[in-house]
Chain A
Amino acid sequence: MSIHNPPAGWFKAPTGAERLWVGLALSWCIIMSVAMPYWHFYGKQNPTGESYKVSVQDFGQRVGEFVRAHQVGDEKGIPIVEVPPGGDGYMLARMWSFYPILKLKKGQTYRLHLSSSDLQHGFSLQPLNMNFQVLPGYDHVLTIRPTSTGIFPIICNEFCGIGHHAMTGRIIVE
């Protein structure tokens, strides 16, 4: 009984169904442990967490230069910026929008730099439902390759104050 001191000799190996179960459970845990590294080498979705310390000023400056160099239009005053294939794209999260709108091409690879100029934010790409954390002071670099076309809204999914629910952005893929 669990509430009493166990009888002497309680320390022994499991038998029967219990032994079988411990073996099965352990095997399953090993399969799961192998699955992650396996996907790391053979799967296509493996954020590496590549990131660099960056000051808010520096990152803001890079975003500004990037927009000036590659802007191709605007929507409601927000610049639409075409990222050169294989090149770097910048997106700034701030209370309460993602800046600017990015334009990408399907099948091309891009280095997407995410950072925040104020609080923590969440980069949530819809309706794909891909989610990444955005921190002030860190340049979070995701190497992405869009595999579908369309207009993809971005929403913020880390609480960032009273306007959090209205914080959106956009990526356009052609």
Chain B
Amino acid sequence: MASAVESLPVSGNHDTSEVRTCETTTLPVCLTAQQFIRWHAVVAVVFLLVGGIGALLLGLTRWPAVHLLDAQWYYRILTLHGLNMLIFWILNFEIAVLYFAGTSLLNSRLASKKAAWACFVLMLVGAVMVDVAIMQGKSDVLMTSYVPLKAEPHFYLGIILVAVGTLIGVINFFATVYIAKRDNTYEGSVPLIVFGAIAAAIIAVVTLLHGAVVMIPTWLWSMGLLENVDPAWYRITWWGLGHMSQQVNVCAMVSIWYLMGTLTVGAKPLNQAVCRGAFVLYILFINIASAHHLLVDPGVGAGWKIWNTSYAMYLAVLASMIHGFTVPASVEVGMRAKGFTRGLFGWLAAAPWSNPGFSGFFLSVIIFGFGGGITGVVLGTQQINIMAHNTLRIPGHFHVTVVGGTTLAFMALTYYVVPLLFQRDFYGKALCRLQPYVFGGGITLMALGMSFAGSYGVPRRHWDVEFTGSQLAMGFDSGAYTMLGVMGIGSLIAVVGLFMFILLVVAAVFVGPKIDGQAMKPWHEERQAPADAAAVDEDDHRTPGTLVLALVFLLTFAVYYFANWMWLADVWEVR
């Protein structure tokens, strides 16, 4: 091992017994970081399983033809699903990503092993506490726990512990970046992915502080130590946590897009100043985006709402639109440089679609952009929100951001994390190759069903579209039922994709063939570029294919945006 260390470009700050060189990427791997990455990844997948069982039950309950759970269990499982997926799965995975970016990409050791322990234990204990509280049955408050709904004190305490644990992990990452700089482990600027990770971590700190500000008083209130928590104040502060954390997810996801582009097809970003500038926009302009969860709330005025959605949101939207271009463009440049120059889309057709690292990543870009991005901006428009608030259009939106986007990107990365950091090979490679399509396809179908059902007025977080037992009868148009059926079928397909992923990963991690000391087997054979391909010079940065894709995107966006304004003009006048 020692000789490998010497061959590194710069010496790093590792103890030689504490580092190895990755046989595939030649990156240095800090063994302490590797250990914690493994644990966080395993725990993340366990929570994904818990959330996935919840997903199955929820999909089957909201599908009127099945209507599986009773009301109480529906709300209980909804609480469980939201928290295990959005918080526990995502955060554990993100901590693993931060540790990787801080150590391997900066050629540094992890700053503190003790802090890493504290982070891991607090996150795990907190999450288990929350899940126990939910299953005990007295904390059916959903993930938002809007006051004055009240849960058991250990429900809030668990969330606080998870937040504190995460904060410690994030600080450990910053400390790692600091010691890398201090010890001169790298030359020049940090790599783009580390830059994205730093952006994510900065937003995470602000997010977690909001979490503390809202959760601690609420916890005290649940124990009777505080008289009252104002519901409007709660909402504004809670969404400081709830929305900004989504920007953390976006930053992490975009960083992974760049990473997967590099690992799978040797993607090259055109202009790093643009990519980095876009990350800076996220940091600067997301802060008040909690506004777009409160667009039809009392307690905050129209001026505040409009200002905070347009000024803050649209520069963050600009950032996403930039990444949405530069990521595929970097793939196009990488592929064209290899000789795949035919036509507009020859590079895309020749891409390794059988490599789940690539297909998962590229599907994530498409689903996030065309699905999540467009719906998010439209639903977050102050006046249009009247037609969307708390309807199924909302989960229809975020299942194509944080699931079809972020979760799918995390899955794509996992197809490399297992061989590279667990040093195990996968069984069932054919299933691995299929999995991103099943999951991505299923979740897209489900989100479409949700969005259209929501346009018919079907609410989210609602057990019975027949309103059984209500004093004044109510029913939906039959079109709503069709769309809920589409949602149900989509959710089943997505759950199959999810369980495939979990089974394949668990089998590989625990009993997969060991590949220590070897390079990982590539997921795809390098294709031969067509012989008639025009030679490309390395610095040719023309990306006509991506530009066409981007223009199609912009057109779709504009059509959906203006269509929604037209629909809005038909409802009652309101001021």
Taking the closest CB of chain B, its distance from the CB of A122, in whole angstroms, is: 5
Contact A32-B314, Cβ < 8 Å, known A75-B472, A144-B573, A157-B459: yes
Q: Do B318 and A97 have beta carbons less than 8 Å apart?
A: no
Q: How many residues of B contact A (CB 8 A)?
A: 110
Interface window among A63-71, A84-92, A158-166: A158-166
Known contacts A21-B547, A145-B572, A36 near B383 by CB under 8 Å: yes
A146:B459 contact, CB within 8 angstroms: no
Within A115-149, the residues touching B (CB, 8 Å) are 118-120, 122, 124-140, 142-148
- In the complex, what residues of B have CB within 8 A of residue A97's CB? 470-472
Q: Is the interface of A mostly helix, strand, loop or mixed?
A: mixed
Find out whether the CB atom of B383 lies under 8 angstroms from the CB atom of A39. Answer: yes
Q: Inside 8 A of A136's CB, which chain B residues have their CB?
A: 148, 231
> Which single member of A6, A29, A163, A167 contacts B314 (CB below 8 Å)?
A29
Chain B residues whose C-beta falls within 8 Å of the C-beta of A1 in the assembled complex: 191, 262, 266-268
Q: Which one of B325, B467, B541 contacts A165 once the chains associate, using CB atoms below 8 Å? A: B467
Contact in complex: B314, A33 (CB < 8 Å): yes
Residues of A within 8 A of B389 (CB): 122, 131-133, 157
Q: By the criterion of a CB under 8 Å from any partner CB, how many residues of chain A are at the interface?
A: 94
> When each residue 170-204 of chain B gets 1 if its CB lies under 8 Å from chain A and 0 otherwise, what string results?
00000000000000001111111100000000000
Query: Do the beta carbons of A29 and B315 come within 8 Å of each other?
Result: yes
Q: Is the CB of A6 within 8 A of B191?
A: yes
Residues of B within 8 A of A132 (CB): 296, 386, 389
Chain B residue, CB-CB nearest to A13: B273
Shortest CB-to-CB span from A119 to chain B, Å, is 6
**CB-defined contacts of A72 to chain B, threshold 8 Å:** none
Q: How many angstroms between the C-alpha atoms of A125 and B572 in the bound complex?
A: 10
Contact at B471–A168, with CB atoms within 8 Å? yes
Bound together, the chains give a CA A156 to CA B460 distance in angstroms of 10
CA distance A148 to B190 in the complex (A): 60
Q: With the chains together, A122 CA to B558 CA distance in Å?
A: 30
CB distance from B24 to the nearest CB of A (A): 12
- CB-CB under 8 A from A50, the residues of chain B are 298, 301, 575
B542 to chain A, nearest CB (A): 6
Contacts of B391 in A (CB 8 A): 124, 129, 131, 157
Cross-chain contact B298 with A51 (CB below 8 angstroms): yes
Q: A160: which B residues are within 8 A, CB to CB?
A: 149
- Bound-state Cα–Cα, A101 to B263, Å: 62
- Contact between A46 and B571, CB atoms less than 8 A apart: no
- Give B49-103 interface residues, CB cut-off 8 Å to A: 71-72, 75
B417 at the interface (CB under 8 A from A): no
In Å, the complex CA distance between A10 and B195 comes to: 14
Q: A32-B310, A166-B467 are in contact. Are A11 and B298 (CB under 8 A)?
A: no
Give B249-279 interface residues, CB cut-off 8 Å to A.
Answer: 258-259, 261-263, 266-274
Contact yes or no, A6 B383, CB < 8 A = no
User: Is B246 at the interface (CB under 8 A from chain A)?
Assistant: no
Q: Are B571 and A17 in contact (CB under 8 A)?
A: no
Closest to B392 in A: A157
Q: Mark B420-462, 1 if CB is under 8 A from A, else 0.
A: 0000000000000000000000000000000000011101111
* Shortest Cβ distance from residue B277 to the other chain A in the assembled complex, whole angstroms: 9
Known A14-B274, A49-B300, A138-B232; judge A162-B72 contact (CB<8 A).
yes
Contacts of A120 in B (CB 8 A): 146, 148-149, 231
CB distance from A72 to the nearest CB of B (A): 17
Are A14 and B273 also in contact (CB < 8 A) when A131-B388, A155-B474, A159-B142 are? yes
Q: Is B343 an interface residue (CB 8 A)?
A: no
Contacts A5-B191, A6-B188, A20-B547; A47 near B230 (Cβ below 8 A) = no
CB of A135 within 8 A of CB of B192, answer no
B27 touches A3 (CB 8 A): yes
**Interface: A153 (CB within 8 A):** yes
Chain A residues numbered 1-58 whose CB sits less than 8 Å from any CB in chain B: 1-8, 10-18, 20-22, 24-26, 28-30, 32-33, 35-37, 39-40, 43-51
CA distance A44 to B188 in the complex (A): 55
With both beta carbons as reference points, the residue of chain B lying nearest to A133 in the complex is identified as B297
Minimum CB–CB distance for B380 against chain A, Å: 10
Contact with A along B342-359 (1 / 0, CB 8 A): 000000000000000000
B residues within 8 Å of A by Cβ? 25, 27, 71-72, 75, 105, 140, 142, 146, 148-149, 186-193, 230-232, 235, 258-259, 261-263, 266-274, 294-302, 304-306, 309-311, 314-315, 317-318, 321-322, 325-326, 329-330, 377, 381-383, 386-391, 455-457, 459-464, 467-474, 476-477, 541-544, 546-547, 550, 554, 557-558, 561, 565, 568-569, 571-575
Ordered by A's residue number, 11 sampled pairs between the chains whose C-beta atoms are within 8 Å are A3-B191, A3-B193, A5-B191, A17-B542, A36-B306, A36-B382, A48-B575, A129-B457, A135-B299, A144-B572, A168-B472
Known: A14-B273, A97-B471; 7 extra A-B contacts, CB below 8 A, are: A2-B269, A7-B188, A18-B326, A43-B568, A75-B472, A130-B386, A131-B389
Closest 10 CB pairs of A and B: A51-B298, A157-B459, A140-B298, A2-B258, A33-B310, A25-B321, A165-B464, A166-B470, A145-B573, A157-B390
